[in-house]
Amino acid sequence: MERLPQDRGDNEKGVVCAANEARFTAANYSEPLTAFTVGWKDRENVEEMLNFVAPAISVGKRFEFKRAENGEAFLSEVDDVRAVGSAFKRVDFSGNSVMEKTLNKGLTVRVDHDDTAGDDWQERHVQALLRRLYRNELRRAVAALDAAVTATELSWGGSDGSQNPDGDLRMALSAAANESGLRPNRILFGEGAWDVRANVYDGQNSSAAQRAAHMDLEELARKLFVDAVRVFGARYQSSAAAKTPIVGNAIYLFNAQNEIIKDEPANIKRFVTPFDGNNFRVYVEEHSKYTDITVEHYSNIIITSPLGIRHIAVTEGEIDD
């Protein structure tokens, strides 16, 4: 993640800094701008993609969840018949409880009053900070999936023109189900990986390949027996002169559920602590020549079970004409 300068109260105008807790006071809290964050929608749909990868679960700042022993959910026996006068067979579950906490995250920007224009300048700066905070969270979620499993490298687009990317995905889904007992229900394509898949099928002359090439995401999800497939192409500024895709030439297969409880079995969850129903709070600190705007939130992205996650790193080979 990008290292931001610390907010020491003397930050330059227009420079985004890691938020200073000293600004989080009741006097600086902005209820109208906090309400503005509730209905705001990002044009890149980063929030929607974040909820696809790591669904939010509301918890307190300190919370406990159970990390179940996966194998115990699939045990089976043939001696569960009770003899007359005896008790049923006793079984024990060894799932352990884990104590965690949500982390306070936020950004501050200093706006010189000479640079303000229009009546909505504060809202526009809040939008910019929200977009950046959501992008940070999505990068954390993808990094968590990366760290959970070792990537499988596949090269699609061989010279024989007979490769079947969707067949590779079916095999990966089946292997994941055999490992965890649950078939992954979501697939996330990086824009680059989706383009490689399309190029493979576009380069084949069979009717089956052409059908696959023209499938939309809903059709592909039905074909692979998953709930949803998404393609994500948003980028972040990785250096002064370069932008890098958040997902890139990668495909992630995993299990996640929206509107779940904290102990529900899934691979990844984003625990959030709301403030009076809002996931974000906004603070405005006025000065004579400038205004500091801070947006904060509490969250923690956790891989609650690595079993069944698949990460496929795709490279593209040459396809003969």
For 281-300, how does the pLDDT look when each residue is reduced to its tens digit (9 = 90+)? 999 999 999 999 999 999 99
Would you state the torsion angle of the CA atoms of residues 217, 219, 221, 222, taken in this order, to the nearest 10 degrees?
170
Do the Cβ atoms of 54 and 269 come closer than 8 Å?
yes
40 band by pLDDT with thresholds 50, 70 and 90:
confident
- Nearest-CA neighbor of 249 among 317, 306, 158, 203? 317
**Which position has the higher pLDDT, 124 or 4?**
124
CA atoms of 257 and 45, how far apart (whole Å): 18
Angle ∠(230,39,254) on CA atoms, nearest 5: 25
DSSP category for residue 275 = B
pLDDT digits (tens, 9 = 90+) for 42-84: 777 888 999 999 999 999 999 887 765 555 555 566 677 877 8
Beta bridge partners of 275: 278
Q: Is the pLDDT of residue 159 over 60?
A: no
Mean pLDDT of the chain: 85
Q: What is the pTM of this model?
A: 0.81
Mind listing the domains of the chain with CATH numbers?
16-70+95-316 (3.90.1690.10)
321 band by pLDDT with thresholds 50, 70 and 90:
very low
The predicted pLDDT at position 91 comes to 66
Contacts of residue 229, defined as CB under 8 A and 6 or more positions apart, other chains included, come to 186, 187, 188, 189, 217, 218, 220, 221
Strand, helix or coil at 59? coil
